[in-house]
Amino acid sequence: MPSQDIQEIRFLKNIGLLMTYQCQVQCPHCIIQAGPHRTEQMSLEDAYDWIKQIAAYRNGFIKVLSLTGGEPFFNIQRLKLMSDFAKERGLYVSAVTNGYWASTVEKAINILKSLPSLMMLQISTDKYHQESIPFDRVRNAMLACDACDLPFTISICTENENDPDYQKTLTEVSEFVDPRVIFSAITFKAGRALQLDTDHNYETSITPPISSCGAGGAPIVFPNGQIVACIGPIIDLKTPHPLRLGNLMQNSIEEILDQAESNVVLHAIRIWGPKFLINLVREAGLESELPEKYISGSVCHACYELMANPKIVDFLMNLQNDSDLTHKVAYARIFYLNEPEMALDLGLQLERG
């Protein structure tokens, strides 16, 4: 059986572009260590090429392009160029932001009106962001979105959902929006967050979380061309693992995403969560390689621990050659996620064989 809270997010309907590592602020929990000192960004030439490939993939199969960073609003002109280019090619364009630019409601409305191709915002706010960005700016951004009829969601990070600062932010946000558009995530010790002395804030368990992963259906493209299955803490890993899907400097979007359709490890995580793979690791006699404790409610932590261990990664890579598991995953994708592509491809391969 899959996780009881499996999210039926169709694979590859949403792809992200990490536009820039630049950000006006230097949040202490940032996985990619963004900040004003970072200069790396996706070139317009690469962005246009990759957006064209994304829009053309399977004759428009991909619907949403999410522009993220760093802070996409760091350079509003580049954000406009990329979002306009994507919309002209039929993509629904969203962007992630910390809302720093919304110093007043009026200014925020004018900025949003200057970006007519943006169709949705994801606004981040929490105790980490609020060290540099007052909540008033997030409030102004929300009010501006309402004035411009622009849908938005709110993202809040915390080490513990019982934390008073998290509860305060949640209460503040709830005064303006439907709770259904508020999404919470457990902060993870990766990137700049490794420097935080916050281990004592986490609730831990000897058993991994049972949740499936809804984020694994939306890959992210980095300025260097690397494509990773999600924008979770695994992006901080420098060593190979099954969720590093390929690099656009070497292969096309089509080649990389077609191969991702048969990525057994990725789809097992999407259907059953990392706990499923942890059980396989135990059965293979590698239990000593597993962590003694897991962060409660954090699928990302369990997944990261798998991908960070070279011995476990070797085991997971070999699972790609397990035909029984491959068929199980393929048909589970049909049954639980309504995704027939992997099974159809297996059928074609079997017919050729």
Can you say whether residue 247 is alpha, beta or left, with left for phi > 0 and alpha for psi between -120 and 50 degrees?
A: beta
**Residues 159-212: tens digit of each pLDDT:** 888 889 999 999 999 998 999 999 988 877 676 666 666 666 778 899 998 889
Residue 78 CA from chain centroid, whole number: 22
Residue 3 has pLDDT above 50, yes or no: no
Q: Where are the alpha helices (DSSP H) in the chain?
A: 44-56, 76-88, 105-113, 135-147, 164-174, 253-260, 264-272, 274-283, 299-307, 310-319, 323-337, 341-352
pLDDT band of residue 334 (cuts 50, 70, 90) is very high
What is the Cα–Cα distance from 222 to 214, expressed in whole angstroms? 20
Residue 9 has what pLDDT?
Answer: 62
Residues 241 and 307: beta-carbon distance below 8 Å: yes
Segment 325-353 shows an average pLDDT of: 82
Report the pLDDT averaged over residues 145-154: 97
CA–CA separation, 134 and 122 (whole Å): 17
- For each of the domains in the chain, give its residue range(s) and CATH number, in order of start: 14-202 (3.20.20.70), 264-352 (no CATH)
Q: Residue 351: pLDDT above 60? A: no
Q: At what angle do helices 135-147 and 164-174 cross, to 10 degrees?
A: 30
Residue 291: burial class (beta carbons within 10 Å; 0-12, 13-18, 19+): middle
209-231 pLDDT tens trace: 888 988 899 999 999 999 999 98
pLDDT at 342: 93
Residue 106 in this model has a pLDDT that exceeds 80:
yes
pTM of the model: 0.91
DSSP tag of 9: P
